[in-house]
Structure 1
Amino acid sequence: MNLFDLTLRVKGFDIAFAKAELARIQSIPEHLYPDYIERQKQAIVTYHKMYSPFYKQFTARQENPSWEALPVLTKADLQQPLQNRLSTEYTRKNVYINKTSGSSGHPFIFAKDKEAHARSWASFQDRYEWFDLDINTSKQARFYGIPLDFVGYRKERLKDWLGNRYRFPIFDLSEPQLEKIRQKFERTSFEYLNGYTSSIVLFAKYLKRHQLILKELCPTLKVCIVTSEMLFESDKKLMETHFGIPVINEYGASELGLIAFQNTENQFQVDSELLYVEIVDEHNKQVPHGESGRVVITSLYNKAHPFIRYDIGDVGTLSRKSTPKKPILEKLIGRTNDIARLPSGKVVPGLTFYYVTKSVIEEDGNVSEFVIEQTALDSFKVIYTAQRALTASEEEKIKKATYAYLEEGLTVLFEKVEKMDRSKRGKLKQFVSKL
């Protein structure tokens, strides 16, 4: 039974139409593909200039009608109430709404119209089929965070059940917990692993310490898909050795969907059906293939909210072998998160702090940027920029979330600054360990 597809349809996401549309786009011949891209680029810009007061004002100073004259949209530009950014044909009641992880230090709420969201899921399913995986029927071992409040926790567990996946919460990856994960693999017919790179690497290191091969413990496994963080070649080799299966790299963003996915030829293939990906220099001009620059992405179908020439906060390079229909991401820089080690021996990934800080990252956009520094085994500092300082109540809320997701007895300090100390790439790391 295609329970996941059924769930999408019940929620108003027409997955059947989305799959048919994806197939139609994929059938466009290579020599006609540049025309398809240009038509969709112009169509989405025309739509948002007509129906999005936010985007109309954002582009008001554009004198040159050329594509590269369009201003680049940053995450900071979107840190304002969602209602200000919605297109006039949409309301909060007829769109998909979610929050970005804030892993770049710029959290915000976004919207996708239901057709665009269905297209994103169609793209995911298409890529997974490259490796003989069916989101509806293939059992997933999921290495992700999970909300700890009662409603949020139950909601995610229900979604996991509907998605035919079992979630291993990654807030505690100490030796005893890794042992429990190993035992679960021995009892369950998982077909693939999916989740945060750093968490899955920690599991691979556990297997190495115990001289185990996961495929021998769970013979049904086919592949491992890692996402959200950098995949280093040494880690990939470690995982492939001790999992006994191929490791596939996935690059996505909640606000855009799947950006790139490793294909069967070991190429990091960019989604050219639903997205238009540019690599630009400091003047927002496209650089030649083979040169590095900022990754700027246009969502070709999201009418509810403009993501046009949107700077996602990463640096990358498109291969010289790229074509309009098959762009290849040759290099991706950034998105790596450190690991926090706690007095009790617990080990947690830096992305855990997304779940900690989201409790006070509200739609009013007060907090613009934040990073968390670990200064000692039991001490953390939240450094942030904001229109106003966090209240004592908000600070207490973060402290309680820290104790819930990490452990009791930790010291949490707060520091409001006027400007963040940024890396040479101009990107913030959400978590930095000073140990």
Structure 2
Amino acid sequence: MNLTNLSLRLNGYPIAAAKRKLQQLQAEIEQDFSAYTEARKAEILRHHLAENPFYKNLAGKVKDWNSLPVLTKSDLQQPLSRRLSEDFSEKTIHKHKTSGSSGHPFIFAKDKFAHALTWASIQDLYTGLGINTGLTEARFYGIPKSGIDHYGERLKDFLGNRYRFPIFDASPENFETFIHRFKTRAYSYLNGYTSSLLLFAKYLAEKNLVLKRICPSLTHCIVTAEMLFPEDLALLEKQFGVPVINEYGASETGIIAIGNAGSDLQIDSRLIFVEILDEHNKPLPEGVSGKIVITALFNKAHPFIRYEIGDLGALSFEKGLPVLSKLEGRVGDYALLPDGKKIPALAFYYVTKEIISDTGSVKEFVIHQSKPDRFEIAYVADNAFAEAELQKIKRALLHYLGQEVTVKIEQKKQLDRSKRGKLKQFTRSF
């Protein structure tokens, strides 16, 4: 039994009212999406210009929507009390911290109704995809090792009817305990970081096991927080035996877009307005990739108006509603070569992934660029590459880059992850 709604009600979050409001918003969108969006944008902008001194000072004289500043995480790295709207205090809001995966963590706020709307929308989106949120979720996320944060996550798991699998241990012994739990428990769906779910799927493949056959109650797998490549999607579908859902979201807003993996992702336009902007913050045409910028349409406690989320993607429209047709990693994720050439990290990583996959059985790998002419590839595999395989990888990579660089390839027992368990596939330290 999922106790999240009860917990929200007991803590002053109007979840029942939020569910009714969500139905009303859905009806308004279906009647006239464009009118709905413009009205909600104008309403949240009027509120923060009138009630939020921080945003009023930042926005200055407003000419039109496109003249508004684009907020970045660094703009918000100041005490929360300075960023709250009037009539809100830290005792009357929902307070949360970003994951810090962008390198710019900060504390933010939602008013309680906005937070209730977020939860109501998540439940509605999951139900619309055929996911039963009342049954147990198999959660493949990290968790703080100790302290109040650890017990806070455990409490949320209990209330949300979730069991959290320990993802930092990728040993065969740990995966065997996973399999035993799936044999003896009825889980409704998997939900977790792409890389962690892939490691488990690869172990199942080695054992010639399909998870759905072990745990017949499974209906879906939700991947989130990390890129999902086509061949990885095929592996997840084969070894889990259920459809894979791709979820794109942020702690600041909840789900931004969601849908069947490999397809366009439907934006939650009831609560969020999405723009795609170029490096000069100018709107880009449909289908052209740029910075993903979002507006939270109902958060009155804290402004997220034209907020740069830190990712790259492209926008298209299906049946008059916006979808994310591309999702291409983080802003600033690119390799910078000695001649000044920039290579997008996603393409760079994808090519390297294909090379390594052709060379041998690798569970996962990451790339780090420490200097313009130096790359380090760390990989996890049962067997180390032979010298001939190392040379093949280096030759192929040098051919792709088109110039001389040093490539160091090192086998590791495990890769460094964030405290939450995310795996950053490409990093650059200069």
**TM-score, normalised to structure 1's length?**
0.75
User: Is 2:22 the counterpart of 1:25?
Assistant: no
Corresponding residue of 1:293: 290
Corresponding residue of 2:173: 176
One of 159, 163, 183 as aligned partner of 1:186:
183
User: Which residue identity does 2:91 align to in structure 1?
Assistant: K
Q: Structure 1: which 5+ runs fail to align?
A: 339-346, 351-372, 378-401, 407-428
In the aligned structure 2, how far is the partner of 1:90 from the partner of 1:74? 22
Corresponding residue of 1:302: 299
In the aligned structure 1, how far is the partner of 2:428 from the partner of 2:297? 38
Corresponding residue of 1:167: 164
Corresponding residue of 2:4: 4
Corresponding residue of 1:109: 107
Instruction: Render the CA deviation track for 1:351-407: whole Å, top value 9, x for unaligned.
Output: xxxxxxxxxxxxxxxxxxxxxx99989xxxxxxxxxxxxxxxxxxxxxxxx99979x
CA contact (8 A) 1:22 1:122 kept: yes
Corresponding residue of 1:422: none
Corresponding residue of 1:283: 280
User: Is 2:250 the counterpart of 1:253?
Assistant: yes
Corresponding residue of 2:404: none
Corresponding residue of 1:153: 150
In the aligned structure 2, how far is the partner of 1:6 from the partner of 1:95? 18
The aligned length equals 353
User: Which residue identity does 1:118 align to in structure 2?
Assistant: A
In the aligned structure 1, how far is the partner of 2:219 from the partner of 2:78? 43
In structure 2, the CA distance between the partners of 1:433 and 1:76, relative to structure 1 (3 Å rule), is: closer
SS in 1 for 2:247: strand
In the aligned structure 1, how far is the partner of 2:155 from the partner of 2:319? 40
CA contact (8 A) 1:103 1:430 kept: no
Alpha-carbon distance, 1:320 to partner: 4.6
Alpha-carbon distance, 1:83 to partner: 1.0
CA contact (8 A) 1:171 1:405 kept: no
In the aligned structure 1, how far is the partner of 2:287 from the partner of 2:428? 33
CA contact (8 A) 1:98 1:110 kept: yes
Q: Structure 2: which 5+ runs fail to align?
A: 331-344, 350-362, 367-374, 380-415
User: Which residue identity does 1:119 align to in structure 2?
Assistant: L
User: Which residue identity does 2:143 align to in structure 1?
Assistant: I
Corresponding residue of 2:409: none
RMSD, aligned CA: 2.8
SS in 2 for 1:121: helix
In structure 2, the CA distance between the partners of 1:22 and 1:214, relative to structure 1 (3 Å rule), is: same
Corresponding residue of 1:329: 324
One of 113, 117, 120 as aligned partner of 1:119:
117
Aligned residues with identical type, % of pairs = 52
The correspondence of residues 195-234 of structure 1 with structure 2, limited to 5 A, is 195-234=192-231
In the aligned structure 2, how far is the partner of 1:232 from the partner of 1:253? 20
Corresponding residue of 2:53: 53
Alpha-carbon distance, 1:39 to partner: 1.1
User: Is 2:241 the counterpart of 1:244?
Assistant: yes
Alpha-carbon distance, 1:232 to partner: 1.3
**TM-score, normalised to structure 2's length?**
0.76
Q: Which fold has the larger relative contact order, with Cα–Cα distance below 8 Å and residues 6 or more apart in sequence?
A: 1
User: Which residue identity does 1:46 align to in structure 2?
Assistant: R
User: Is 2:136 the counterpart of 1:139?
Assistant: yes
Alpha-carbon distance, 1:153 to partner: 2.2
User: Which residue identity does 2:239 align to in structure 1?
Assistant: H
User: Which residue identity does 1:206 align to in structure 2?
Assistant: Y
Corresponding residue of 1:417: none
Alpha-carbon distance, 1:24 to partner: 0.6
CA contact (8 A) 2:244 2:260 kept: no
CA contact (8 A) 1:120 1:257 kept: yes
Alpha-carbon distance, 1:433 to partner: 9.3
Alpha-carbon distance, 1:32 to partner: 2.1
Alpha-carbon distance, 1:283 to partner: 2.3
Corresponding residue of 1:316: 313
Alpha-carbon distance, 1:133 to partner: 2.4
Instruction: Render the CA deviation track for 1:28-72: whole Å, top value 9, x for unaligned.
Output: 254522111111101111111111111011012x3x521101010
Alpha-carbon distance, 1:147 to partner: 1.2
CA contact (8 A) 1:289 1:318 kept: yes
User: Which residue identity does 2:98 align to in structure 1?
Assistant: T
Alpha-carbon distance, 1:293 to partner: 1.0
In structure 2, the CA distance between the partners of 1:312 and 1:29, relative to structure 1 (3 Å rule), is: closer
SS in 2 for 1:211: coil
User: Which residue identity does 1:89 align to in structure 2?
Assistant: D
CA contact (8 A) 1:189 1:218 kept: yes
In the aligned structure 2, how far is the partner of 1:89 from the partner of 1:349? 49
In the aligned structure 2, how far is the partner of 1:101 from the partner of 1:283? 26
CA contact (8 A) 1:374 1:433 kept: no
SS in 1 for 2:35: helix
